[in-house]
Amino acid sequence: MSYWEFLAQNAPRYLDGTLVTIAQFFLSATLAILVALTAGLMKMSRNAAVRWTAGTYIEIFRGTSLLIQLYWIFFVLPLFGLTLDKFYAGFVAVGLNLGAYGAELVRGGIQSVPKGQWEAAYAISMSPAKRMYRIILPQAFLNMLPPWGNLMIELLKATALVSLISVTDLMFEAKQINGSTFLSAQAFGTALIIYYIFARLIVTPFMRWLERVMARKMGRA
């Protein structure tokens, strides 16, 4: 069987798996961004209990394997009365894991804003919330974008693990195709190409475009 015959025969399954992977990616990314922003701000709180809570979350999810976290959420939490469908368990695990890394990027981005900007906002009597929202976060966001671009690529690759709890994503379909055809190079090579195209032609250009847009808005272009 030629590669093109293989592709024509299995294209619908790859398409179905790719759509699930895209859904997992966007849901995981949304959760990771929300969690990272929340935990990053909590890590800078003056309240010790708030800082401890954020620090505990970050250390647990950065210090343990994503695969173990995925298994805990899907297999162990039901023992405590909390059951998640495999699709939801997949993006929750990936989002929480990458969100822990993102929280440190948020904290670092905020701390990278020059001290003079904080003092200027304080001098015009801005409230802490308004100061953070109007002055600090926009500048911090621009500083955070390059490492967040790398994190989004890592998140995309991490979604492949959800196939281990039978989420029918791209990797799951590739394994099923390999199991029925025994054409490993074609089965996994096609999956590799699709992952690369998504990362190289969609995620990376979008993050670079976002960097340019934010730089223009901040007058740094």
CATH number where 141 lies: 1.10.3720.10
Question: Is residue 3 included in any domain, yes or no?
Answer: no
Nearest C-alpha neighbor of 192 from the set 170, 167, 217: 170
pLDDT on residue 126: 74
Evaluate whether residue 116 is within a structural domain.
yes
- Give pLDDT, residue 68: 95
Residue 16 has pLDDT above 60, yes or no: yes
Q: What's residue 201's pLDDT?
A: 92
Whether 5 maps to a domain, the answer reads no
Give the per-residue pLDDT at 138: 81
Enumerate long-range contacts of 216-219, CB under 8 Å, 24 or more apart.
Answer: 217/138, 218/138, 218/139, 218/142
User: Is 67 within a domain?
Assistant: yes
- Position 83 in a domain: yes
| Backbone dihedral region for residue 183 (phi beyond 0: left; psi -120 to 50: alpha; all else: beta) | beta
Asked if the structure places residue 17 within a domain, the reply is yes
Q: How far is CA 88 from CA 27, 58, 211, in A?
A: 9, 21, 30
pLDDT band at 74 (very low <50, low <70, confident <90, very high): very high
| Closest CA relative to residue 204, chosen from 160, 127, 121, 148 | 148
User: Once rounded to an integer, what is the mean pLDDT over residues 27-44?
Assistant: 94
Determine, yes or no, domain membership for 2. Answer: no
Tell me the whole-structure pTM to 2 decimals.
0.89
- More confident site: 177 or 129: 177
List pLDDT tens digits, range 163-186: 999 999 999 999 999 999 899 999
Give how many domains the chain has, as a whole number: 1
Q: Which domain holds residue 23?
A: 13-217
